[in-house]
Structure 1
Amino acid sequence: MSTPVGFDELIHPSTRLSVVALLATTEWADFAFIRDSLSLSDSALSKQLHTLEEAGYLEIHKEGGGRKRRTKVRLTDRGRTAFEGHVAALRAIVEGAGPAATPGPPADDAPTTAATGAAQPQHPAETGR
């Protein structure tokens, strides 16, 4: 199966996908809110945000200074488009998988037992006689 159009390797890792999905629901989010919502450490979140920012998917705005410094994050238009394309690609993958194949009835020429529906051997060599 080929990779569907829109599948984004940068967004796909679970932590980045979680960050982008969270940001897709809001205009701006505080660093602490994202960190706490996703149960990440400051350093783990910082690394993921930096990666997404370098790709142009996020805008990071820092305000204040010292202990009162606040970091706010938002998806850029490019990031939102990439996320929506990735979600569509994931849906295509899932829908393409479809339900698991279920075994059908035995072939018409194979006699079966009424109780189990199992095929009966047709030749004496198969029965061990």
Structure 2
Amino acid sequence: MSIIEGLNKNFENRVRLGLMSVLLVNDWVDFTEMKELLSVTDGNLASHSSALEKVEYIEIKKEFVGKKPKTSYRVTQKGREAFQRHLAALEKLLGN
């Protein structure tokens, strides 16, 4: 068995790793706050969050607050479990 077998390809990018890390310890996080926390561009955050939504690791909620659009993110149970397995595989890799 390969020592990197448990690593999840969906979390190989630093933006996705950061996004999941933030969502693991927060309920809903809005676009602006996430963008500032990760120091990324609008497009960068949008493309990586869409990729994670596609594999059902996060939920994206779009709504209007007054007349302004608001986008928020939340980790799904599937995403939480996948990310925790990824972290465990990283710890195992570092332990070798």
| Equivalent in the alignment of 1:69 | 69
| Equivalent in the alignment of 2:8 | 8
Structure 2, gaps ≥5 residues long: none
Give TM-score scaled by structure 1 length: 0.69
Structure 1, gaps ≥5 residues long: 97-129
| Equivalent in the alignment of 1:20 | 20
1:1-129 alignment to 2 at 5 Å?
A: 2-4=2-4, 6-64=6-64, 68-96=68-96
Q: What do the CA deviations read for 1:23-54 (whole angstroms, capped 9, x no partner)? A: 11111100111000000000000000000000
Distance 1:94 1:21 in 2: 18
User: What's the offset of the Cα at 1:20?
Assistant: 0.6
**Bigger Rg, structure 1 or 2:** 1
SS of 2:9's partner is: coil
CA RMSD of aligned residues (A): 1.7
Structure 1's consecutive aligned runs of 4 or more residues displaced over 3 angstroms after TM superposition are 3-6
Over the matched positions of the two proteins, sequence identity in percent amounts to 34
Amino acid at match of 1:12: E
Distance 1:31 1:3 in 2: 35
User: What's the offset of the Cα at 1:2?
Assistant: 1.1
Distance 1:36 1:67 in 2: 22
Contact preservation (8 Å) 1:6, 1:82 = no
Higher RCO (CA-CA < 8 Å; seq separation 6+): 2
Aligned residues between the structures: 96
User: What's the offset of the Cα at 1:67?
Assistant: 5.5
Distance 1:39 1:53 in 2: 20
SS of 1:69's partner is: strand
Distance 1:40 1:65 in 2: 23
Q: Higher helix fraction: Structure 1 or Structure 2?
A: 2
